[in-house]
Chains A and B, each alone.
Chain A
Amino acid sequence: MMDFSPVGAFRFWQRNLLIFRKTFPFTVPENFLEPVVYLLALGLGLGAYLREIQGLPYVAFVATGLAASAAMFGATFECTYNAYVQFYYDRSYDAIVTTPLSAEDVAVGEVLWGATRSVIYGTAFLLVVALFGVARSLWALALPGVFFLGGVVFSTVALAFTAVTPSIDLFPYYFSLWITPMFMFSGIFFPLDALPGWVQTAAWFTPLYHVVRATRALAFGTPVAAVPEVVWLAAVAVVLLPVPAVLLRRRLVQ
């Protein structure tokens, strides 16, 4: 039985926003500086040898991919470590489910907040790399929407993991077995064309691959190419959203 109220989810989202406004400076390194370092190292370092890829300057190619990954990391850190600490150590969630908010409100509010962080970090990164001539089309203005959709998917998966993990020590596995492979094999640094077909097939089933493709399509002015990616993300978001809600209810209400 699900018990969900949009107002409740919004209240929880607002709470997270308030906390974010206070802790923002401490979250910049992991979410923002890291992709900048990658961009400088690869975009400029490797870019010196590798001028063009798929008809794009290599820096622009990597920068758009990294914007997508910034969105992924923003949502993922939120719904793994941040959520875990509040859930298990601060026990804030235990307190909140005795207010009018339900466990489902908390789960959905948390996912929406994770997606909001995707928008914040993805967009902020794009603004910085705009200096590298990355955004070549007004369609780039639609990118926050893509980051949001992608953020919902990243958050949903991460929060589902957080709701079932028996220990904080398992998060490194979440990152090494899921986030890092996605980061490497979603076409951020190199196109997947040269890899065996099964790698491309596997990549198709992961969200980052679609966020990367949608990001490039919009940034470089080929919006039609973004449509299937957005459809994929929206469909998966809708299908997966109830999962963390059910799992969190099981943890919070016995």
Chain B
Amino acid sequence: MALVEAEELLKRFGSLVAVDRISFQVREGECYGFLGPNGAGKTTTMRMVCCTARPTAGSLRVFGLDVRRHGRAIKRQLGVVHQSVTLDDALTVRENLVVYGRYFDLSWAEARRRADELLAFAELEARADERVSKLSGGMQRRLMIARALMANPRLLVLDEPTTGLDPQARHAVWDRLRQLKRGGVTQILTTHYMEEAEHLCDRVAIVDHGRIVAEGPPRELVERYVGREVVELQVAADGAPAWAVAEQAAGLAEGFEVAGDRVFLHTRDGEELVHRVRALRLPVEAVVLRRATLEDVFLRLTGRRLRE
């Protein structure tokens, strides 16, 4: 059964359409990601799943229940990690967990026991009695994840779980999320880091301007829209403009995109393409061969880069 089912889901704020008739399903046990730039409507979509934003039109069912009518029952089985830090600053790390457990009607004893388990999971035992403002950003994020797990949710909702973290802290969060997935916790997450989507998600929806522009397993999306490899040309500052270079090289590749002073050539055989590009003696400063990514898919489908 799908834990989340959206059909033609629409959300308007006044005249602004934040989520534009999207349809998707999140299946039990998978990690489903929304990948898109700021303002794409990711948070708004998550808020509708959490029943804190009401759909303007369309249908949205979570655990088979209508979000418009069963908010309380849905939220009871949800664990939510918000985009911004929403911890109680006046309370310690442990108290934040215990109090949160109480919202789900855990007894004090149960809440304390669960808090101890999750402090270990988040590797925060040593900081348990400190105020949360003393924690680093990465620790706060781990605490938010631990807090979301207090009542053993059926679905974990994570809105940009690693935005603003340094690479090490990000990997620590990723480790935990993968561990949870192995344990069978269904996850729905948003991100504007394509590495994160590739790393964590079984399936991703690429979103832009409130719409899903492509959906599928990350590798499959890359294969479908870009191919296997990308040859990246850095155009010389004093030479021809990037689009002119692209026109000359386009015939060699299966597809291409231009972004700023770079040209991306899509191909299945990168080494061969590099040789042929070099032979053209184009006015470029560098020719780099790399694996195709979701970033290339996004660029191909929207004409823009994810992090502009």
Given contacts A99-B75, A99-B103, A100-B104, contact A94 B95 (CB under 8 A): no
Q: In the complex, which residues of chain B have a beta carbon less than 8 angstroms from the beta carbon of A19?
A: 88, 90-91
How far, in whole Å, are A15 and B103 apart by their CA atoms in the complex? 9
Cross-chain contact of A92 among B51, B71, B80, B88 (Cβ < 8 A): B88
How far, in whole Å, are A29 and B171 apart by their CA atoms in the complex? 46
A200 in contact (CB, < 8 A): no
Smallest CB separation, B280 vs chain A (Å): 54
Could you tell me if A253 and B54 are in contact, using CB atoms closer than 8 angstroms?
yes
How far, in whole Å, are A90 and B85 apart by their CA atoms in the complex? 8
Smallest CB separation, A100 vs chain B (Å): 5
Could you tell me if B80 and A98 are in contact, using CB atoms closer than 8 angstroms?
yes
Q: In the complex, which residues of chain B have a beta carbon less than 8 angstroms from the beta carbon of A90?
A: 86-89
Give the interface size bracket for A toward B: 20 to 34
1/0 per residue B33-70: CB within 8 Å of A? 00000000000000100111110000000000000000
Smallest CB separation, A107 vs chain B (Å): 15
B102 in contact (CB, < 8 A): yes
A3-11, A110-118, A142-150, A161-169 - the one binding chain B: A3-11
Q: B-side binding surface: helix, strand, loop or mixed?
A: loop
Cross-chain contact of B95 among A18, A92, A95 (Cβ < 8 A): A18
B99 in contact (CB, < 8 A): yes
A240 in contact (CB, < 8 A): no
Given contacts A7-B105, A100-B103, A254-B13, contact A95 B86 (CB under 8 A): yes
Chain B residue nearest in CB terms to A22: B90
Could you tell me if A5 and B72 are in contact, using CB atoms closer than 8 angstroms?
yes
Could you tell me if A11 and B102 are in contact, using CB atoms closer than 8 angstroms?
yes
Q: In the complex, which residues of chain A have a beta carbon less than 8 angstroms from the beta carbon of B32?
A: none
Given contacts A3-B72, A90-B89, A92-B88, contact A97 B102 (CB under 8 A): no
Could you tell me if B82 and A95 are in contact, using CB atoms closer than 8 angstroms?
yes
How far, in whole Å, are A95 and B144 apart by their CA atoms in the complex? 10
A23 in contact (CB, < 8 A): yes
How far, in whole Å, are A86 and B50 apart by their CA atoms in the complex? 20
Q: In the complex, which residues of chain B have a beta carbon less than 8 angstroms from the beta carbon of A94?
A: 52, 82, 84, 86
B76 in contact (CB, < 8 A): yes
Chain B residue nearest in CB terms to A95: B86
Q: In the complex, which residues of chain B have a beta carbon less than 8 angstroms from the beta carbon of A101?
A: 103
Q: With contacts A11-B105, A92-B88, A94-B82 known, what are 6 further pairs, Cβ within 8 A?
A: A95-B80, A96-B103, A98-B51, A98-B52, A98-B75, A99-B103
